[in-house]
Structure 1
Amino acid sequence: MAGADGDDSLYPIAVLIDELRNEDVQLRLNSIKKLSTIALALGVERTRTELLPFLTDTIYDEDEVLLALAEQLGNFTMLVGGPEYVHCLLPPLESLATVEETVVRDKAVESLRKISQEHSPVDLEEDLETLVMPTLRQAAEDKSWRVRYMVADKFSELQKAVGPEITKNDLVPAFQNLLKDCEAEVRAAAANKVKEFCENLPEDNREQIIMTHILPCVKELVSDTNQHVKSALASVIMGLSTILGKDNTIEHLLPLFLAQLKDECPEVRLNIISNLDCVNEVIGIRQLSQSLLPAIVELAEDAKWRVRLAIIEYMPLLAGQLGVEFFDEKLNTLCMAWLIDHVYAIREAATCNLMKLVEKFGAEWAQNTIVPKVLGMANDPNYLHRMTTLFSCSHVYFLRVVVHCCGYPYREITTKQMLPVVLKMSNDQVANVRFNVAKSLQKIGPVLDSNALQTEVKPVLEKLASDTDMDVKYFAQEAISVLALA
């Protein structure tokens, strides 16, 4: 069978046109799946000059057909003549990457990534410069802030894709503009990428680019009118210290850190504190200690309990960096105050915090500093505070510290100091306290020796097992069973 003009060489294209115009979707789908066979029949030159232009100009069909086409083109490198001509596949795949159906776009992008590996570095940089960069430049300056936002949000990926030269010549100015964008959402997205962008700059002129082009924008963002922008920057700015080194950090970044520690927005202060390990590696945390303390105190007393909770979680990190002397002098009182916070989640987190501090500073510190204060709360008029003593003594994390980290001395501390307090609280008038005594004895039991269990713990649990309160009886009986004291 010949084509319409009698030329047998046109047969594959003519047949493909007829099949793609057929109303039967399955027939059109089958024709697309035969593209590689048609390309082989045409040869590489006619595939490039006839088949691909035809496919590019006629990309309209059912999503199932377009999906098959996007997949087929990802395997066409050798059918167009090898890596030297792989750029011919870009136009049809770019068109497919813009269709409405998500799965088609995803498959087209997958095929584009696949064929990009076939380009030589020189060719790829020239595909990028000619075809991609005009679109990227336009998107970075698009009238819609949502488009500019997406550019900012994906900026690190774009930077890695285009390479060092295009980054230096095109992306640095674009990134500056995004950091100065009129929309706060765009500035926040760009601010969140500052550390990654700086890390991925070419090493030979990284410092010069940051100091000349990026840092001035960062300084403006520190005092931005929008708290989300400031918070986004605060979450990453500390990472610049490891990139710029000690001298630049002290001269240029330290003033910014100090300003952020005094920011009116608690999230800004919290984000700076949560990333202190970065600056500690470079200049040591002592440089920040004078401004750090007021910021911690304000966060510790913040009206929002979730802010208080967040600073508690970072306390062990701060303690390790500031050292035991600074901690005892400046922060110990805060940690103890959290134990009697009116929010249960804070009291629970504060208890866990104490156990982590014990692990960090050791048994002797705990015995001299923490244990007396915790046990002292057993006599507090507020029963919630009395229960904090029980939670601290029986906390699961604490027991792990006892058994695995600090060794035998803690058995002595538990037996001689903690156990008597817990046993005394079994006579508390509040049932909630009494059944927590039973639960505490169950947890600290494995730390005690058999003599203490039999002579001190067992009689108290047997007494609680006959308590008038059903919950007290239940937990006492459970403790007896678990500790095998029946």
Structure 2
Amino acid sequence: MSEEVYPLAVLIDELRDDDVTVRVNAMGRISTIALAMGEARTRNELIPFLEEAAQEDEDELLVVLADELAKFVPLVGGPEHAHALIDVLSSLAGCEEPTVRQAAVASLNDIAREMSADQVNEHYVPLLRRISTADWFSSRMSAAGIYASVVAKLGPNDDLLGLYKDLVTDDAPMVRRAAATALPNVIEALGKVQLTGTIQEMFESLVYDDQDSVRLLSVDVVVALSEALRENGKPSSDELVAQTLALLSDKSWRVRYMAADRLEQLAKALNSDEKLPRLVGQFVTLCKDGESEVRSAVAKHVVGFAQNLDPAVVLDEIVPAIEPLVTDPSEHVRESLAGQISYLSVLLGNEKTIKHLLPLFLQMLKDEHSEVRLQIISNLQVINEVIGIDLLSQSLLPAITELAKDKQWRVLLAIINYSPLLAEQLGVEFFNKELVPLVMQWLWDPVWAIRDAAAQNLVKLTDVFGVEWLETIILPKLVVHDPTANYLYRFTSLMVVKTLVPTVSSSALQDPVLPFLLSFSEDSVPNIRFNVAKALLQVAQALVAKNTPNAQSVISESILPVLEKHAEDVDVDVRFYVAEALTQINELVAGGQEMQA
């Protein structure tokens, strides 16, 4: 067999293998094979073979084929020969399997972007005419996803837009859904070119479609259409606003949910003195919607919607509308609102926040659902910047205390991670009095993730309050060795102090940290003894790094003798970590001696 024929022959054999994995792997190498065969043979031999392979019934293999073909433009001779790939991909675009169709459409779009306008007009327009009118719905669905790339190259084309309109009004709902999904991309592809009446007609058809699965997709269309009109210097028409309001009040809750979830974008797209107020009334209605999912979606976009409004409108219309949501029966609605309500304070300012929002904040801080309280506390800095912490502290502390006892460890973890920011806001005096007991309590939590986070939290709090705070307030509570305490208590106290070694000062390292660590060296549990070895290594490194004057003597007189004693420990793990610590400390000591010399 000649060297020229060999790569294709191997590919053919592997693609006929009974093992699907072999066939898929072979298909993933077709780019390499094409490179070996050269451009002409790829077009004349490999591509026809791949057209036959496209009839394969293994979807996984067809997805790989579609993906690989997107890389083939340079392998077939550049954009002028890229049309050779279209037939294979159009065949894949007609498959029933969605993943295959999506991969084929993506590759067809990639190839179109590399071709010139004349090439697209010559090869893609006939393709769109053919698959847009194909008998099988899958081809028509794929056609919808290709129009944007073609329109971007050719500009407005009444013929193409007419074909697309047929897809928007297709008998098959799945085709109309595909057309609705892709229409925002077509609108974007038209750019600043004057939008035709055909686009408006398509949108109107989608808004009043008898399938709610189609109507809900028209929400993204109205956003794209309104933004395009604004970029063209044209305001949204009254008709477009009316259709937007129709979506927000649709009989299907799924459509109302989608519209509510895009409320912020709709507000920005329709933002004008005349039209935006018409959305305010609908916002109020959505806050009273019978479906909790819709109310939750509205609550998530309160601030995004309100920031487009006059503060007086926010105070008179928006705040009264969200007040009932503070006590909504659905915890998801309350949680969504809790994540947003703090930011309304920025829009209203100090005086109005204290009068109108502060009661809502305080009420949500007492919510029975921990996630609601957590959302308020997590955004506390925003409120603090507007009104100060004093007005919140009376309700803040009970809420934090309750969260600190929450049964969900993830909630407690979030509170721990937030406590350094809370410390900045509360100040050291208030924090020491009210929250230090909680900080210490977290260190002994049954969940390891909480204990670990609590130890790291002490380091972060030190960044806020300083090393002196750590050594005078926290460290004395930790360096108390009770040999009769249970293993978990001993191990936790050891690990917490070990975590703080790089943070404390040189003097605190020597006393009380080092004596505390040495008191564990004879512990009966090997796990504790080898962690002592790790901790002693850290102490030695910290003493040297902090340029401690007597570092060498402390290491030689206090640390090394203990480690050397355990070099022959009965436990293999202890011996390993002791040996590792001795090696690194000896290198450290030797390096220090060389520097002194």
Aligned twin of 1:281: 385
**Do structure 1's residue 312 and structure 2's residue 420 form an aligned pair?**
no
C-alpha separation between the residues in 2 aligned to 1:429 and 1:113? Answer: 71
CA displacement at 1:129 relative to structure 2 = 3.5
Rate the CA distance shift 1:156–1:357 in 2: closer, same or farther, 3 A.
Answer: same
**Which moves more between the two structures, 310-319 or 157-166?**
157-166
Partner of 1:476: 578
Report the counterpart of residue 435 of structure 1 in structure 2: 530
Match of 2:147 among 59, 69, 74: 69
Does the CA-based 8 Å contact 1:70-1:104 persist in structure 2?
no
Q: How many residues align?
A: 429
| Distance in 2 between residues matched to 1:35 and 1:133, nearest whole Å | 38
**Secondary structure, counterpart of 2:317 in structure 1:** helix
With the length of structure 1 as denominator, give the TM-score of the two structures: 0.78
8 Å contact kept, 2:350–2:387? yes
Name the stretch that deviates more: 171-180 or 272-281. Answer: 171-180
| Change in 2 beyond 3 A, CA 1:221/1:416 | same
CA distance in structure 2 between the aligned counterparts of 1:414 and 1:233, rounded to whole angstroms: 48
Per the alignment, in what secondary structure is the counterpart of residue 329 of structure 1?
A: helix
Partner of 1:10: none
What RMSD over aligned residues (CA atoms) do the two structures have, in Å?
Answer: 3.7
Q: 1:252-276, CA deviations, whole angstroms, 9 ceiling, x for partnerless residues?
A: 1111111111111111111111110
Bigger shift: residues 119-128 or 184-193: 119-128
* Alignment partner of 1:451 out of 553, 563, 583: 553
Is residue 167–residue 176 contact of structure 2 (8 Å, CA) maintained in 1? no
Give the conservation status (yes or no) of the 8 Å contact 1:393–1:418: yes
CA contact (8 A) 1:140 1:174 kept: yes
Whether 2:216 is the aligned partner of 1:114: answer: no
Instruction: Return the alpha-carbon distance in structure 2 between the equivalents of residues 88 and 37 of structure 1.
Output: 20
Which residue type is aligned with residue 538 of structure 2? K
- Does the Cα contact within 8 Å between 2:502 and 2:538 map onto a contact in 1? no
Moved more, 379-388 or 170-179: 379-388
Instruction: Give the TM-score, by structure 2 length.
Output: 0.64
Map of 2:566 onto structure 1: 464
Write out aligned runs for 1:142-161 (5 A).
142-161=250-269
Structure 2 counterpart of 1:49: none
After superposition, where does 1:60-459 map in structure 2 within 5 Å?
62-63=139-140, 64-77=142-155, 100=175, 107-119=182-194, 121=230, 125-126=234-235, 128-130=237-239, 132-165=240-273, 168-199=276-307, 201-202=308-309, 206-376=310-480, 381-395=485-499, 398=500, 401-402=503-504, 410-448=505-543, 449-459=551-561
Q: Determine helix, strand or coil for the equivalent of 1:425.
A: coil
Q: Structure 1's 121 and 333: CA in aligned 2 closer, same or farther, altered over 3 A?
A: closer
Matched letter for residue 181 of structure 1: D
Is contact 1:36–1:79 with CA below 8 Å preserved after alignment?
Answer: no
**1:319 CA displacement:** 0.8
Q: State the alpha-carbon separation in 2 of the partners of residues 267 and 279 from structure 1.
A: 18
Check 1:127–1:236 CA distance in 2 against 1; reply closer, same or farther (3 A cut): closer
Name which of structure 1's ranges 465-474 and 328-337 shifts more when overlaid on structure 2.
465-474
Cα distance in 2 for residues equivalent to 1:36 and 1:442: 69
CA distance 1:95–1:114, change in 2 (3 Å): farther
Name stretches of at least 5 consecutive residues in structure 1 with no aligned partner: 1-24, 41-53, 81-86, 403-409
- % identity of equivalent residues: 39
1:107-135 deviation per Cα after TM superposition (whole angstroms, max 9, x unaligned): 532221232534564976555543x4343
Q: 1:484 to 1:180 in 2, by over 3 A?
A: farther
Q: 1:95 to 1:284 in 2, by over 3 A?
A: farther
Alignment partners' CA distance in 2, 1:213 and 1:90:
41
